Amino acid sequence: MPVYHYPDTLGEACSIMAAGEDAMVYGGGTAVQILLKQGVLFASDLVDIGAVPGLGELTRTKDGLRAGPLVTLRQMETSPLVRELAPLAAEVYGRVANPRVRNTASVGGNLAHGDYRLDPPTALMVLDARVELTSARGKRSVPAREFFVDFQQTALEPGEIITAVEIPRQPEDAGAHFAKLSSLAVNDWPAASAAALVVPASRGRRQLRLGLGALAHVPVFTQFELAGDTPVGEVVATAKEVARPLIDPLPDVRGGSAYKTRLGLVAVEEAVRGSWKERDDERRIPFLGRRRRR
């Protein structure tokens, strides 16, 4: 059985993490508890960071927002700050599992869990979020897009603790959509998921960013640019063409590889259609507004 620690400061937590032969952080415990019960968690020490000041805070920053690792997924879903500054993130955190899990699971634990099916990384990657890591050796910051390095393996080095996730403000004129397709139950893990964010680029072009979940052995990110007035049907076709070579799903109880590949392309289409507003649509909005006022 691992030895439990309850440090009062971040420095103390880092020292315990450095000294332990195979020390792990205890966040919300939703994954750790299951692994302990299954007898497959091989940790020398479990470091509960719940008493360390500041790790459960959500704050506005110059460029967006900063979430401490102990902010719960439910807080990310419901916080007015997250809804204002990163509505796509609020939407995606709100689609994880069920309220019981979301009320307990933490932002840091979710990322460190490193599962290829996780929902939040899809949004964090398209929003260009960064993960702050702290250890006895110091601090560093890793882009969410580079955090997932291999199957169940993240950029976390031994002794490191996730101490924040920094999310830049979602541009107000960005189009955003998250598609999650589950094959067993509506609040189950996804069989395929896709987050899309469309942001203005130079010379009237638009950039489409895609984050895919459950469709390869790690969460996947890609992006491309198109003329801003490209019809949505063409954007969908391009997105599928770009995404297809990156899709290589692992077969499991939620479906075989071919089935998940098809679902993945459906998720991509849904995310693109929900995020790419045709310029015609934009022109129609003020026109409808004028008619309504008469």
| DSSP single-letter state for residue 118 | -
What CA–CA distance (Å, rounded) separates 143 from 154? 12
Query: Which among 21, 19, 45 is positioned nearest to 32, based on CA atoms?
Result: 45
Query: Judged by CB, which is closer to ligand FAD: 29, or 168?
Result: 29
- Residue 276 sits in the site that holds ligand FAD (CB under 6 A): no
Instruction: Calculate the alpha carbon distances from 8 to 12, 138, 245, 250 in Å.
Output: 7, 18, 47, 41
Query: Judged by CB, which is closer to ligand FAD: 105, or 243?
Result: 105
Contacts with ligand FAD, 110-129, as mask; x by CB under 6 A: x-xx----xxx---------
Of 7, 20, 108, 264, which one interacts with ligand FAD (CB under 6 A)?
108
Q: What is the smallest separation between the CB atom of 258 and ligand FAD, expressed in angstroms? A: 22
Q: What is the smallest separation between the CB atom of 259 and ligand FAD, expressed in angstroms? A: 18
What is the radius of gyration, based on Cα positions, of the chain? 20
Which structure tokens are listed for 292?
């309504």
Which structure tokens are listed for 198?
């469309």
- Residue 31 sits in the site that holds ligand FAD (CB under 6 A): yes
Q: What is the smallest separation between the CB atom of 235 and ligand FAD, expressed in angstroms? A: 27
Of 13, 14, 25, 212, which one interacts with ligand FAD (CB under 6 A)?
25
Part of the chain binding ligand FAD (CB under 6 A), chosen from 30-38, 56-64, 122-130, 260-268 = 30-38
Q: What is the smallest separation between the CB atom of 34 and ligand FAD, expressed in angstroms? A: 6
Which structure tokens are listed for 8?
């009062």
Contacts with ligand FAD, 194-223, as mask; x by CB under 6 A: ------------------------------
Query: Judged by CB, which is closer to ligand FAD: 191, or 198?
Result: 191
Cα 24 from chain centroid (whole Å)? 21
> Residue number with the shortest CB distance to ligand FAD?
109
Query: Which among 231, 67, 35, 64 is positioned nearest to 163, based on CA atoms?
Result: 67
- Residue 254 sits in the site that holds ligand FAD (CB under 6 A): no
- Residue 134 sits in the site that holds ligand FAD (CB under 6 A): no
Instruction: Calculate the alpha carbon distances from 293 to 269, 280, 285, 289 in Å.
Output: 35, 21, 13, 6
Query: Judged by CB, which is closer to ligand FAD: 182, or 261?
Result: 182
Cβ(212)–Cβ(242) below 8 Å = no
Instruction: Calculate the alpha carbon distances from 143 to 16, 165, 178 in Å.
Output: 26, 10, 20
Q: Which of residues 143-172 bind ligand FAD (CB under 6 A)?
A: 156, 161-162
Q: What is the smallest separation between the CB atom of 163 and ligand FAD, expressed in angstroms? A: 7
What CA–CA distance (Å, rounded) separates 249 from 215? 4
Of 14, 32, 131, 220, which one interacts with ligand FAD (CB under 6 A)?
32
Q: What is the smallest separation between the CB atom of 133 and ligand FAD, expressed in angstroms? A: 8
What CA–CA distance (Å, rounded) separates 213 from 114? 12
HSE-up of residue 108 (Cα within 13 Å, Cβ side): 28
One DSSP character per residue, 171-229 reads: PTT-EEEEEEE-SS-TTSPPSEEEEEEEEE-GGGEEEEEEEEESSSSS-EEEEEEEETT
Binding site for ligand FAD (CB under 6 A): 24-32, 69, 96-97, 101, 104-106, 108-110, 112-113, 118-120, 156, 161-162, 189
